[in-house]
Structures are given as C-alpha cells and as structure tokens.
C-alpha cells in the first residue's frame, strides 16, 4: 500500500493546544517536515520561546529547551557553541523576538550565529490575551490599544526582516506566510533552506512567518488568513531580503 499521508517523525503524537485556525500548528509541521527531509532529527535541538509556542517541546520529537522570554537566541548561542555539530533553531513569537528579545536577535545576527530562527509574527501577544506588540499594525485594536495603534503615541510597527537584512552577520533573511497553498509551499521551501544553510555552516538564518491569531483578533480562521493577505502583507512584504546566490 502506498502512503498518501504520513505524520512527520519529528512531531510527537500529542494533540496541539493551539486555537482553531492558528497558524502555529502549520508552521510546526513545516519545521518538522524540513527536519525529517534533511535527516537531522537526531542532531537537532530546538529552543522554545515564551509565548503560545512555549509548549513546542510537547510537539517536536527532538531535544528541546524552553528559553526565558526573548532570550532564545542567547540560549541557542550557548547550545551551538557547545555543540557546533548540532543543528540549533529557535522558534519565537513577535512579542518574544521583536520586543523583549530585540537585543538578543540583533546581536545573534551580528555574530553570525550558525542557527536557524523561525520568527512567527502574528502582530499581537497571543498568549497573554491579545495585547499590542511592536508588530501590531497602525490602527489595529488590541486589548492595550483599544482605540487602535496610533503612530504619535507608540510609533510604527517594526519590520524585523528588513532590519536584520542590514546586518552583515545575517546570512539569510526571508519573510513568508502560510495563508494559501502556494504561500505554504514557498514557506516550506524557505524554512528547509534556512536549515540547510545551517547544515552548510552558515548563519544566521531567519525566516519571518506572517501568522494568525484568530482568538485575539476576533476573527474566524478563514477571515484571519485573509486579514494577513490583505493587511499584513502590504506592510510586511513577502520575499527573500537577503539570500546569497550560493544558497538559492
């Protein structure tokens, strides 16, 4: 009998706690498939963030640690320096990476740490109940921007991929999303390449994934995917911001 579908070896059988329509689950799957296909499950170490993905260690069937809020790149640095022959990745939300952990990601990129960073940007603090993030769009209502984010009051959203692509130490920087089958295929290819680069001894490799938070956005799963396409993508354009020819 021919396999039509098989769950990834790099995922456990645990039921994910993510809300219906949340893209965290999809992104986990893309990461796990990449690890499987590259044959690195037994040498990969994952760093879970503080955020909705704090429980990622329950879903990835690989060695994992849970970092303090925002410090995943620092923790990954410690791990990679001890085990340069292992594949180390962080999985971080936008509050985690773009706010409290802004210094750690910038300096990990500056050092050219040979790690892979999966940066899940859903424009909100999901886990704590939908507060404003540095990535929250102008005018977007959250529980701490009830009148909508106002530029005069708290500035414009930060574009992490663009910013990191200016850092010489960053090896590959891309932004993808998972809102349509075509986008999903592209995201998978990009994530897999970000791991392959690390296998090739290159770093830092970051993939920003525009994601959803139907629960705190107050939208259905379908509406949420469309909201990414219609509101996030125009501000956060998709594509490769920095990918050397040799890695393409």
Ligand X SMILES: Cc1ncc(C[n+]2csc(CCOP(=O)(O)OP(=O)(O)O)c2C)c(N)n1
Q: Residue with structure tokens 């963030």?
A: 49
Question: In whole angstroms, how far apart are CA 117 and each of 84, 114, 144?
Answer: 16, 10, 28
Report the C-alpha dihedral over residues 226, 125, 67, 160, rounded to 10 degrees. 60
* Residues 6 or more apart whose Cβ sits within 8 Å of residue 89: 31, 44, 45, 46, 47, 76, 115, 116, 117, 118, 195, 198
Q: In the complex, which residue's CB is closest to Mg ion?
A: 93
Could you give the CA distance from residue 72 to residue 76 in angstroms, rounded to a whole number? Answer: 6
Residue 34: contacted member of another protein, ligand X, ligand SF4, none (CB under 5 to 8 Å, by partner type): none
- 34 is a contact residue toward ligand SF4 (CB under 6 A): no
Q: Which of residues 117-156 bind Mg ion (CB under 5 A)?
A: 122, 126
Residue 18: contacted member of Mg ion, ligand SF4, ligand X, none (CB under 5 to 8 Å, by partner type): ligand SF4
C-beta of 170: minimal distance to ligand X in Å? 20
Could you give the CA distance from residue 156 to residue 137 in angstroms, rounded to a whole number? Answer: 8
Could you give the CA distance from residue 213 to residue 228 in angstroms, rounded to a whole number? Answer: 10
Q: Is 241 helix (H, G, I), strand (E, B) or coil?
A: strand
- 217 is a contact residue toward ligand X (CB under 6 A): no
- Within 13 A of 5's CA, how many CA atoms are on the CB side? 2
- 18 is a contact residue toward ligand SF4 (CB under 6 A): yes
DSSP symbol at 157: P
Site map (CB under 6 A) of ligand X, residues 106-135, x = contact: --------------x-x-xxxxx----x--
C-beta of 86: minimal distance to Mg ion in Å? 27
What are 88's strand-pairing partners? 45
C-beta of 106: minimal distance to ligand SF4 in Å? 24
Among 26, 30, 53, 167, binds ligand X (CB under 6 A): 53
Q: In the complex, which residue's CB is closest to ligand X?
A: 93
**Nearer to ligand SF4 among residue 86 and residue 219 (C-beta):** 219
**Nearer to ligand SF4 among residue 136 and residue 197 (C-beta):** 136
**Nearer to another protein among residue 116 and residue 136 (C-beta):** 116
What are 47's strand-pairing partners? 65, 90
| Interacting residues toward ligand X by CB under 6 A | 50-53, 69, 93-96, 120, 122, 124-128, 133
| Interacting residues toward Mg ion by CB under 5 A | 93-94, 122, 126
């Amino acid at each position: 009998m021919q396999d039509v579908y098989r769950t990834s070896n790099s995922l456990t059988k645990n039921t994910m706690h993510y809300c219906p329509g949340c893209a965290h689950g999809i992104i986990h799957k893309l990461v796990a498939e990449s690890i499987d296909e590259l044959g690195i499950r037994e040498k990969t170490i994952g760093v879970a963030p503080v955020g909705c993905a704090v429980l990622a260690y329950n879903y990835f069937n690989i060695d994992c640690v849970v970092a303090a809020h925002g410090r995943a790149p620092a923790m990954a640095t410690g791990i990679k320096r001890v085990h340069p022959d292992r594949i180390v990745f962080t999985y971080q939300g936008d509050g985690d990476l773009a706010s409290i952990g802004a210094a750690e990601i910038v300096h990990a990129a500056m050092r050219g740490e040979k790690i892979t960073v999966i940066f899940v940007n859903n424009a909100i603090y999901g886990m704590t109940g939908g507060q404003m993030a540095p990535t929250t769009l102008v005018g977007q209502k959250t529980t701490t921007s009830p009148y909508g984010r106002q530029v005069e009051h708290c500035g414009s959203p930060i574009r992490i991929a663009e910013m990191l692509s200016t850092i010489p130490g960053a090896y590959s920087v891309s932004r993808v999303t998972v809102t349509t089958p075509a986008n999903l295929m592209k995201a998978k290819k990009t994530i897999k390449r970000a791991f392959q680069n690390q296998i090739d001894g290159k770093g830092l490799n970051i993939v920003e994934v525009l994601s959803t938070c139907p629960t705190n956005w107050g939208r259905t799963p379908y509406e949420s995917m469309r909201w990414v396409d219609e509101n996030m993508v125009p501000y956060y354009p998709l594509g490769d911001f920095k990918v050397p020819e040799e890695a393409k």
